[in-house]
Structure 1
């Protein structure tokens, strides 16, 4: 199949840095706005859960103080001294109740947040899916499929994981930090000052680390997409890779991309991993100093032993939310890098759908190219092209590889936009009608068959929504596909596997022809539909196509010139131009490019 298009980017494209962290973050937050009420409820529940947990050490300190003073009074022989286990039991009962309520609210928080997270990524996947439907063909021609799949799966999954796990942890960490600070102030402002000193010191230490880690997380996501793209291409084309002995080269490319991913991931994880030990060191130093000063205050009877125990617990917990916040900040770096890639996809230029001024219900089939100019980029490959096709004519398009045959079809279907001139259907400019309306008037049978994982019935009925069983069977019979379908174990209910490898190439082509027959379009496009099948199957397919083309305007791309002898018009293309046109006999009489091409194929067959 001839195809003229822009070069496909290779696997060695350098990773790009994040362009707009703040803008991407704000845009990501905008996806949460429709769920403001749920997020507010999550925030309230998180506060309640955290407050109940924070009060726990203070209550425990009261029990320890009661136990200590009772034991001390008993040892000193103080009248009425001794341990009041009733009071201690009441305190412990209150403590148990606090922790039960804290766990209950924590459960509610996680449940609500998981709903918010999944709803958000659901909307994001919906937006990406709708976007993919609106992107022009040139977008997919210019990018590996795995790159697009990675953005829709890995990157969105990263966002979902962050929303579900890290966002609630971030809320809890902030509430815990504030709550612990309040509780410590009520116990001892002096000890609180010692504990708080560690906060600016921690921020001073982790600030440069967070800033540096951003570019590595962005590079990690980029290289992951490239690796997925390479694996997807090598897997789908593994037979070709093996046939040409390119396993070693494929492995080298994989190793190169994998090495870059390893390097970026190692640096990102190493830099983010530094945070924990550094935070632990600062927290432990603060803990030691608090223990020394607190011991002195207890000896001086300036603070109770229960309160100092509670304060030490708080001081250990005080660094935990800071550490969690620092870790979450790293996760957010990775998440924003993933979100940026998703938003880049969402911001891609869509197919421009102009206001339709022409209505084409069912075309008669008159097609005209009028001074058509087209090129990929600034260089014109087709210039001043003029073609006139009458309704019901069969037009064959021939020429060497790269002549522009498939490009002509892409322009006819408006997969690409013209640089100049116009294409008319029944004298109506194709750009003045909707793409859906235009393409609804065409049926396509391509060299590369496309069938999906489903029953044969589903694949045929893809050509017409709501098709009856009788219509499906009639289309299969017209395509000479009914016989082989009925010989399959489940007939029309036979499920094609993911790779559609449980039927032959010729059978696939017959199914696609049946699909086109069922659609019953007024115009047909056939792109070298018999190039990869045996002679007997080719005859069947040719018979099916002749029946399909009867009474319709048909465009046939052909390499085997013997199959288009009876075409009403043959267009001979070379380097984007129609250099000859006429019937088979007329072109042979001209003894030009077509005649040379035809004789070369005939000579090749004789030589064989």
Structure 2
């Protein structure tokens, strides 16, 4: 009933059309009784009573009722289909809105295939229920009720005899509902797993081929596909136990009607026409009983899917926007004050403290897993710190309007993502109203203009999914141009030039200096050449800042930074200070 109440919340908007559809279903149910009644009249009055002048009028009524029934049925089927499409449209929009509101915590733990299963397969089950199952349940219940009432008005004793088997059918229908429900939940869960395997294989098909792992992936899919088959077979076994019983019991109506009705006709307590009417109404008892199993199937499938959809709609976001968040312009003052963060049981950042002012460039280096990317993720409020405060312009980021804050930031992430769009569209993603000349200028700054111009369609070239068709360096430069065009107050470059050659990196750095005036920039890198000109360099290890200072200061510190420099460059450069001392590796 919870799932029914949930879907009614969306149907309520269309309650007038919904009610009209149900009224038309009742009319069709009433019209379904006309032909059996007229058939009985023809036998008793025309054939036996020899009232031949009634024949054509009675046949005309039968034809008219059939045509009217067909037209009304077509109309309300169309009504319910349109209602279902509107309902699914609304729910799907809400699902997509929810997916856009959910944060990194959710996407870190949820597989894409599971999300897609809810957006497609589960939504289709919801649509089918609202478009077909609802009126079929109502229609079959009305047919059964009308037929029973009609039978009792004709001959109560024969009606009672035929209904004697109904409680038994109801018992088995209830048992079927109870037994089949869990199997559909398992089927939906396994379908999500199967969907995830397919999605991962498609997304990672280049890795699969590069490592010649096609047989492994095929086997992995086969295992999940086998699981999906077994779940469906387990559900089918439940049906195999109950459906034959329901069908057999439904067939008992005919036996009772012929046996008991025949005796009554012989004893003159029932006319032959009335028996023919009962015979014509058998389907009105038989069909709802037969349909009960299938409708139970549909309802259980709907419940399983509705739970999945509702669960996603109710999934809370851990990152919640401030109710009255501050929306003032971002100048670029950044402060981390004793910030710590853990992901599950793993400590990622521990007691991180530093400040950056507008116009400053902060370089962040450290080994993989040292917490460099997590640090800037907290700045963008992709996650919230467990303790300590991250401030922008002196205000805790948790107290600012999250959308306004991110609008004034730009980030080029490690994992470059390009949309299946033109190159111009990708660059202008953060500033869609930017003129084409501004797009070109951003591409020039990012050293992307030259290779874009060499493409067959230039800036109108369609980029393949996730940037397929472009080299790693080309994707990085397009992503950098996208961030530059946004003209942010705070720019984060997360290993942005790792895939470009040293000469291109140097040109990018020289050009960036011109546009970073007055902006706060964070550069995360493994190459010291990327951060050596920064105003402040933070050296991270196991989530802590172990060294900080300028390039020259860190070279003189004889620590981790100096060792990395020697490993990358083979020796120390001359470092000038007021004593004009040339430092060598290991010197004090």
TM-score, normalised via structure 2 length: 0.92
- Structure 1 residues 536 and 274 mapped into 2: Cα distance closer, same or farther (>3 Å)? farther
Alpha-carbon offset, residue 283 of structure 1:
1.7
1:486 and 2:465 aligned: no
Structure 2 CA distance for aligned equivalents of residues 483 and 553 of structure 1 = 28
1:453 and 2:432 aligned: no
472-481 or 382-391: which moved more? 472-481
> For 1:394-450, what per-residue CA distance to the aligned partner results, in whole angstroms no more than 9, with x for missing partners?
111111111111110111110101111111122222222111121122111123222
1:39 and 2:7 aligned: no
Number of the residue aligned with 1:361: 329
> For 1:153-191, what per-residue CA distance to the aligned partner results, in whole angstroms no more than 9, with x for missing partners?
211111111211111111111111111112211222122
Alpha-carbon offset, residue 356 of structure 1:
3.5
Number of the residue aligned with 1:19: none
Number of the residue aligned with 2:4: 25
Number of the residue aligned with 2:585: none
> For 1:91-126, what per-residue CA distance to the aligned partner results, in whole angstroms no more than 9, with x for missing partners?
111000001111111011111101111111111111
- Structure 1 residues 436 and 222 mapped into 2: Cα distance closer, same or farther (>3 Å)? same
Asked whether the 8 Å contact 2:537–2:549 carries over to 1, the reply is: yes
Number of the residue aligned with 1:599: 566
Alpha-carbon offset, residue 289 of structure 1:
1.9
Structure 2 CA distance for aligned equivalents of residues 282 and 139 of structure 1 = 50
Structure 1 CA distance for aligned equivalents of residues 207 and 570 of structure 2 = 29
Asked whether the 8 Å contact 1:397–1:558 carries over to 2, the reply is: yes
Asked whether the 8 Å contact 2:29–2:143 carries over to 1, the reply is: yes
Structure 2 CA distance for aligned equivalents of residues 427 and 139 of structure 1 = 29
Number of the residue aligned with 2:579: none
Number of the residue aligned with 2:189: 222
Structure 1 CA distance for aligned equivalents of residues 507 and 480 of structure 2 = 11
1:340 and 2:307 aligned: yes
Structure 1 CA distance for aligned equivalents of residues 402 and 453 of structure 2 = 37
1:240 and 2:233 aligned: no
Number of the residue aligned with 1:49: 28
Asked whether the 8 Å contact 2:26–2:142 carries over to 1, the reply is: yes
Structure 2 CA distance for aligned equivalents of residues 537 and 279 of structure 1 = 76
Report SS of the residue matched to 1:242: helix
Structure 2 CA distance for aligned equivalents of residues 149 and 550 of structure 1 = 44
Structure 2 CA distance for aligned equivalents of residues 126 and 280 of structure 1 = 41
In structure 2, list runs of 5 or more residues that go unmatched: 572-588
Structure 1 CA distance for aligned equivalents of residues 211 and 513 of structure 2 = 37
Number of the residue aligned with 2:157: 190
Number of the residue aligned with 1:371: 338
Report SS of the residue matched to 1:370: strand
Alpha-carbon offset, residue 379 of structure 1:
5.2
Structure 2 CA distance for aligned equivalents of residues 228 and 343 of structure 1 = 19
- Structure 1 residues 536 and 305 mapped into 2: Cα distance closer, same or farther (>3 Å)? farther
Structure 2 CA distance for aligned equivalents of residues 187 and 500 of structure 1 = 75
Q: List aligned pairs for 1:101-116, cutoff 5 A.
A: 101-116=68-83
- Structure 1 residues 96 and 69 mapped into 2: Cα distance closer, same or farther (>3 Å)? same
Alpha-carbon offset, residue 378 of structure 1:
5.5
Structure 2 CA distance for aligned equivalents of residues 189 and 227 of structure 1 = 55
Structure 2 CA distance for aligned equivalents of residues 122 and 357 of structure 1 = 31
Asked whether the 8 Å contact 1:455–1:495 carries over to 2, the reply is: yes
1:466 and 2:466 aligned: no
Asked whether the 8 Å contact 2:348–2:374 carries over to 1, the reply is: no
Report SS of the residue matched to 1:526: strand
Number of the residue aligned with 1:62: 41
- Structure 1 residues 107 and 541 mapped into 2: Cα distance closer, same or farther (>3 Å)? farther
- Structure 1 residues 595 and 53 mapped into 2: Cα distance closer, same or farther (>3 Å)? same
Alpha-carbon offset, residue 254 of structure 1:
2.2
- Structure 1 residues 135 and 67 mapped into 2: Cα distance closer, same or farther (>3 Å)? same
- Structure 1 residues 162 and 274 mapped into 2: Cα distance closer, same or farther (>3 Å)? farther
Report SS of the residue matched to 2:170: helix
Number of the residue aligned with 1:444: 411
Report SS of the residue matched to 2:165: helix
Q: Among 364, 376, 382, which residue is 1:409 paired with?
A: 376
Q: List aligned pairs for 1:246-395, cutoff 5 A.
A: 246-350=213-317, 351-356=319-324, 358-363=326-331, 365-377=332-344, 380-395=347-362
549-558 or 158-167: which moved more? 549-558
Structure 1 CA distance for aligned equivalents of residues 111 and 390 of structure 2 = 31
Report SS of the residue matched to 1:368: strand
Alpha-carbon offset, residue 225 of structure 1:
0.8
Q: Among 377, 384, 394, which residue is 1:427 paired with?
A: 394
Structure 2 CA distance for aligned equivalents of residues 463 and 582 of structure 1 = 33
Report SS of the residue matched to 1:283: helix
Aligned length: 570
1:521 and 2:474 aligned: no
Q: List aligned pairs for 1:140-159, cutoff 5 A.
A: 140-159=107-126
- Structure 1 residues 235 and 540 mapped into 2: Cα distance closer, same or farther (>3 Å)? farther
Number of the residue aligned with 1:552: 519
Asked whether the 8 Å contact 1:480–1:544 carries over to 2, the reply is: no
> For 1:547-593, what per-residue CA distance to the aligned partner results, in whole angstroms no more than 9, with x for missing partners?
55454211111012222221221111111100111122221211111
310-319 or 500-509: which moved more? 500-509
TM-score, normalised via structure 1 length: 0.89
Q: Name which structure has the greater RCO, CA cutoff 8 Å, separation 6+.
A: 1
> For 1:346-374, what per-residue CA distance to the aligned partner results, in whole angstroms no more than 9, with x for missing partners?
121222222345343131x2211011121
Structure 2 CA distance for aligned equivalents of residues 255 and 52 of structure 1 = 51
- Structure 1 residues 302 and 527 mapped into 2: Cα distance closer, same or farther (>3 Å)? same
- Structure 1 residues 357 and 214 mapped into 2: Cα distance closer, same or farther (>3 Å)? closer
Number of the residue aligned with 1:531: 498
348-357 or 595-604: which moved more? 595-604
In structure 1, list runs of 5 or more residues that go unmatched: 1-21, 71-81
Alpha-carbon offset, residue 214 of structure 1:
1.0
Number of the residue aligned with 1:75: none
Two-structure CA RMSD over aligned residues (Å): 2.1
- Structure 1 residues 304 and 355 mapped into 2: Cα distance closer, same or farther (>3 Å)? same
